[in-house]
Structure 1
Amino acid sequence: MSDIQAANNTSNDEIDLVELVKTLWQGKITIAVCTIVFTVCAVIYALTAQQWWTSKAVITAAQYQNTANIRSQITNLYAVIDDSSKINSILDSESLLNDYITEFNAFDNKKAFIENNEIMKKYADEAELTDENKAQFISNWAKRISASQPDKKNQPDVYQLSFEATSSKLAHDLLVAYSKDISDKVRDELIDALDAKISYSQQILQANKLALEASAKQQLASELIKTNYALDMAKSADVTKPLADMNNNELFQIQLGTAALAEKSKVLDKIKDLSIFEPKLGIIHTKLELLSQIKLDHKISLQGVRYLQNTDYPISRDKPKRPLIAVLGFLLGIMLGVAIVLLKSAFNKSAK
């Protein structure tokens, strides 16, 4: 019984398949027309749609020599501070790379570039921007600027920079210009950090200087008072010459005699160099002088990152994918044609 049922099902399937092929063959003109129309439309769209090209560059952390020029300008700072690691952390190649990527992907930086770059201004003029669609224009273009990691697992320090534009040359020129803007921004932030470090070191040294000067002045005043008291006492005791057999640890050194005490009083009264009482003042003066000689060049060329692949001129467009669009149009035309033929056949059968 089951064998008979299976045979009937097979026969029905064969009949259905034959009818399907017959129906499609009868509607071949409809299918062909749909296929041709959709394929032609797809080709026309592919040929007339806005082209987009992406320029790319590959970067990684800079090497020590890439920051040698700025390190040479802060040699005095290295000589002054006790812990050079604080400076090295500012100039660390990994930190500079992270700063660069952060700034590259920052929306505010993209926005400023889109608003101020001459090429982008031409794009804006062509778009005839209004206050309402300006934000959308900026947002759309910002999405075309990116820094990403192609192989985060195996090459965590390698990043790919990209900028998408309507021609190969414009994509290249825009990526070069934007990369320079970011390099300048990272450099400015680095210079500001070093300036802040120099200023902080100067403030600390100035504070120590004031404290030591106050201590030295107090010691000088105390020594002058004791000397004058000793001079008065020596005069009263008629001690004119130094006495060899008196204790040198006495509070008032009358054993020096009036002549020596009088001269000592004159010398103390004329002292201007407070480092006599606080030797550290001399070191502080030297450090402050070294810091004052540091002249940072705010326009210095800084290579905060190292290029593994320089900015290229893209040789093939990213969008539109013309062959893919044509194939999709062809397939869509066939599917729509088949659907129309089958629906038409179904309606005809139901009408009968």
Structure 2
Amino acid sequence: MFKIEFDMNDIKNNESPVDNKISTGVDVYDLFLKLWKDKITIICSVIVFFIASLIYVMNCSVWWSSKAIITNADYMTSIDIKNRISDLYLIMDSPSGNENLDKLSNNKSLFKQFVNDFSSIDNKIDFIKNNKEINSLRLLTKLTSPKEIMLFNEGWAARIKIYKIKDEYEVKIETNDSKLSQHLLSEYIKYINSIVNNNVINTFNLLRSYQYSYLNKKYNYLLNVAKDKIKSEISETKNSIKLAIASGTKKPILQFDNKQMFPFYSGSEALEKKYQILNNFNDFEIVEPKLLKIKNEIKLISSSNGYSKITFNTIKFVQKPTLSIHPEKPNKSIVIIFSILLGFFFGILVILIKFFLETLKTNNYNKGLK
């Protein structure tokens, strides 16, 4: 009897590492067995999360987006603009002036302006404030305080987006209605195009006004120079007449010294005739030939009424604003699949916690017995 007890103790005190592995394997097996026995917990968890996801996707706000892809306007746009401001090209008599005009009418430059203006928060806010459809939606929300209205406008501005795709740009607007998205995107593109148009036209008109003012000042300056030349010639002729009379020279004589201050060799009779002509002289363009050119340029500018009627496209559509078929947000399939997975793992987590607590309780009980 004593020998049997000794052998049993000897066996217990000489457990091998293999026995430990077997014990550990049993624990893992027990864990999977526990998961299988409590599978109803996982199923219930999946069902609860699935129902919750259905309720969410049925009641959450659905966002639709309309998209368009844009790029540089055709080169013909630049040609068309240059043709319409050809008079400005004629009077901009400096190479730098014509370079500035080329930059303003360049299709790449126009497209860059469009992208910058499209991205501008101020332009987005201005568009939102003046749009009838968006203002109708704001009235439905019954927002009255300036802060609430500001937050409303900023929220809508955040839904107007632009992304670069290589040499092209994708633009889009998100709303609660598919048709409204398409309409607002089309309207906003027109709005930005008009801003670029106005900026370019205003710049053209400023250049026109500047050149008109510059030419007038230049004309008046050269006119005064011409008048001063005539005055100087009249004074010189008057003194020459006095010398001719004093010397008794009435008729022209040969004069070899042409460098005298007051030449009287033409004779008093010719000099008096010259004096009369100079006193009535008004054709200053003979004295300053540049006056005629400047006068024609001023006349050319004055004959035009500016460039307010010029309109042009600053972009070209690779893809026009589309009517969305599927909502942008939320993606119902992804929400439901994610909820099912979340429910599955949540169920496993609950079982693992229960298994851990039961194991801990059993170990504490066994320690108490020992």
TM-score (norm 2): 0.86
Q: What residue in structure 1 maps to residue 141 of structure 2? A: 127
Q: What residue in structure 2 maps to residue 147 of structure 1? A: 162
Q: What residue in structure 1 maps to residue 151 of structure 2? A: 136
Q: What residue in structure 2 maps to residue 71 of structure 1? A: 82
Q: What residue in structure 1 maps to residue 356 of structure 2? A: 346
CA distance in 1, matches of 2:162, 2:321: 13
| SS class of match (1:302) | coil
Shift of 1:284: 1.2
Q: What residue in structure 1 maps to residue 236 of structure 2? A: 226
Shift of 1:249: 4.3
Summarize deviations over 1:157-178 as a string: whole Å, max 9, x none. 3111111111221111111011
Q: Is the 8 A contact 2:178 2:323 kept in 1?
A: yes
CA distance in 1, matches of 2:24, 2:247: 142
RMSD: 2.1
Shift of 1:299: 4.3
Q: What residue in structure 2 maps to residue 95 of structure 1? A: 109
| SS class of match (1:318) | coil
Summarize deviations over 1:166-195 as a string: whole Å, max 9, x none. 122111111101111100000000011111
| SS class of match (2:36) | helix
Q: Is the 8 A contact 1:53 1:318 kept in 2?
A: yes
303-312 or 66-75, which deviates more: 66-75
Larger radius of gyration: 2
Q: How many residues align?
A: 344
The counterpart of 1:176, out of the listed 167, 172, 186, is: 186
Percent identity over paired residues: 28
Q: Is the 8 A contact 1:53 1:166 kept in 2?
A: yes
Shift of 1:86: 1.9
For residues 34-45 of structure 1, the aligned pairs below 5 Å read 34-45=45-56
Shift of 1:270: 1.3
Q: What residue in structure 2 maps to residue 274 of structure 1? A: 284
Q: CA, structure 1 residues 15+281, in 2 after alignment: closer, same or farther (shift >3 Å)?
A: same
Summarize deviations over 1:28-48 as a string: whole Å, max 9, x none. 222222211110110221122
The AA in structure 2 aligned to 1:107 is I
For residues 176-255 of structure 1, the aligned pairs below 5 Å read 176-245=186-255, 247-255=257-265
CA distance in 2, matches of 1:207, 1:9: 106
CA distance in 1, matches of 2:307, 2:59: 50
Q: Is the 8 A contact 2:50 2:343 kept in 1?
A: yes
The AA in structure 1 aligned to 2:164 is Q
Summarize deviations over 1:219-267 as a string: whole Å, max 9, x none. 1100011111122222233322222455444332322223322221121
Gaps of 5+ in 1: none
Q: What residue in structure 2 maps to residue 20 of structure 1? A: 31
The AA in structure 2 aligned to 1:89 is K
Gaps of 5+ in 2: 1-14, 363-370
The AA in structure 2 aligned to 1:117 is N
Q: What residue in structure 1 maps to residue 311 of structure 2? A: 301
For residues 331-342 of structure 1, the aligned pairs below 5 Å read 331-342=341-352
CA distance in 1, matches of 2:161, 2:243: 86
Summarize deviations over 1:185-225 as a string: whole Å, max 9, x none. 00000011111211222232223222212211111100011
Q: CA, structure 1 residues 146+273, in 2 after alignment: closer, same or farther (shift >3 Å)?
A: farther
CA distance in 1, matches of 2:74, 2:106: 9
Q: What residue in structure 2 maps to residue 162 of structure 1? A: 172
165-174 or 285-294, which deviates more: 285-294
Q: Is the 8 A contact 2:77 2:107 kept in 1?
A: no
TM-score (norm 1): 0.91
Shift of 1:108: 0.4
